[in-house]
A and B are shown apart, each in its own frame.
With several copies, the nearest count.
Chain A
Amino acid sequence: MRHRLYPLEDLEDIPGTTVFTAKRSRQAYHLHKFCMSLMDAANREAFKQDERAYLDRFRMSEEQKQAVLDRDFSRLIDLGGNIYFLVKLSNTDGWSTQKAVGSMTGMTADEYAAMMRAGGRSPEGQRSIRDNLK
């Protein structure tokens, strides 16, 4: 038996980061099923015609549906979502991945784009919640 090289809880010690686990995948299963359905042009059309009616085809939680309607990607991550599924939604909207990703940072799209052009977010102070408290 090999031992973990770190306690599993340490995955929760990274600032502003949610690790996508098998458990979270279960929580978002129907949300993700909706996202993957958008890989079909006819489904994208149906979704655009009536978002709410389209969402009601899926056994997602009401919170998940509302977060989709709000394009609230931070909330969708909270509710179990993973970005690789969620970009099917932002792609459907014609958003760039940068716009979708930047929307979770509390910055405007322009601010986020400028930060990326300037070299991105520095890892300083971003490695460990525990260390930051020291």
Chain B
Amino acid sequence: MARITAGIATSHVPAIGAAIDNGKTGDEYWAPVFAGYDWTKEWIRDNTPDVVILVYNDHASAMMLDIVPTFALGFAEEFEPADEGWGARPVPTVINDTDLAGHIAEQLVIDEFDITIMNDIKVDHGLTVPLSLMFGQPSEWPCKVIPLAINVTQFPTPSGDRCWQLGAAIRDAVRSFPEDLTVQVWGTGGMSHQLQGPRAGLINPEFDNAFLDNLTSHTTALRHITRLEYLRQAGTEGIELIMWLVMRAALGKSVEELHRFYHVPASNTAVGHIVLKALD
């Protein structure tokens, strides 16, 4: 039986990827950012899952122009990194687990999620930066990855509560998969940031830290934060935090916080990172 053992959430700022790719992780600006991930890089060496279900948003790299899916499941065998305007990141090809992905698709549709299956996507920094943060610069990623892209950009975006329901359904789907697999669910994006207009640069540490505080045991409040409230409090791009709720719901009722990190800034963004162990 497959089981979800842990969840990881992290911001996925493109500049973090550039700092890694250009060997700047030791720079004065970047060193404090990367220090926040040292614990996790150590921990995950002994806790590498077979599969990561990686919840991210595509940043107008593979979707958003002609097609805007609410929930999109990557179903190709492999995913190459996208060229976001300055060449593709020099990172390994992402390898899917299509058996598990197919099972999850089946089960999600039975559970009345109207998912979209994507048979050909390039994956952008939203997916590859978290992999680099946790696994460094290997020649191959040490596990398979199922990309799950969520529309957080074009309104109407799904509600936080719908994302929670999706996470809970993913949990059920994984637990009903007969193969003996260790699965992690990662939620990416956030924390507070706004990348447009005169209000750009907004950072709300109070909101961010309350979110981190509540993520372990006070999740009801988080489920009911409206889309409007995210925009007001955490900036237009802070709404990416709804993807953390997919991860949290997938872990079940009880979790233990293993590690937490918060830092301002990375480029325009507040960086948040948390590692949660599933107890149920």
Contact = CB atoms under 8 A, between A and B. Distances in A.
B205 interface: yes
B251 to A, nearest CB: 16
**Which of B75, B86, B205, B265 has most chain A Cβ within 10 Å?**
B86
Given A19-B155, A25-B119, A102 B200 contact: yes
Size bin of chain A's contact surface = 35 or more
B154 A16 contact: no
11 contacts: A14-B232, A22-B117, A26-B75, A29-B119, A36-B65, A39-B83, A82-B154, A104-B198, A105-B201, A106-B198, A122-B202
A97 B98 contact: no
A112 B59 CA distance: 23
B102 A17 contact: no
B50 interface: no
Contacts of B264: 116, 119-120
Interface residues of B, number: 60
Contacts, number: 191
Contact of B199 (A4, A6, A16, A35): A16
A121 B202 contact: yes
A33 B169 CA distance: 32
B254 interface: no
Contact of B98 (A6, A15, A16, A23): A23
- Which secondary structure characterizes the binding site on chain B? loop
A25 B199 CA distance: 21
A53 interface: no
A77 B119 contact: no
Contacts of B267: 96-98, 116
Contacts of B44: none
Interface of A: 1-6, 8, 10-11, 14-23, 25-26, 29, 32-33, 35-36, 38-41, 44, 73-74, 77, 82-85, 87-92, 94, 96-98, 101-102, 104-106, 112, 115-117, 119-123, 126-128
B236 A17 contact: yes
B204 interface: yes
A97 B176 CA distance: 41
Contact of B201 (A5, A92, A115): A115
Nearest to B29: A117
Nearest to A29: B119
Nearest to B226: A5
Contacts of B82: 39
Contact of A97 (B14, B102, B105, B232): B14
Nearest to A131: B232
B70 interface: no
Top 10 closest pairs, chain A to chain B, by CB: A120-B203, A91-B85, A16-B199, A16-B198, A1-B172, A84-B60, A84-B59, A88-B85, A121-B201, A116-B265
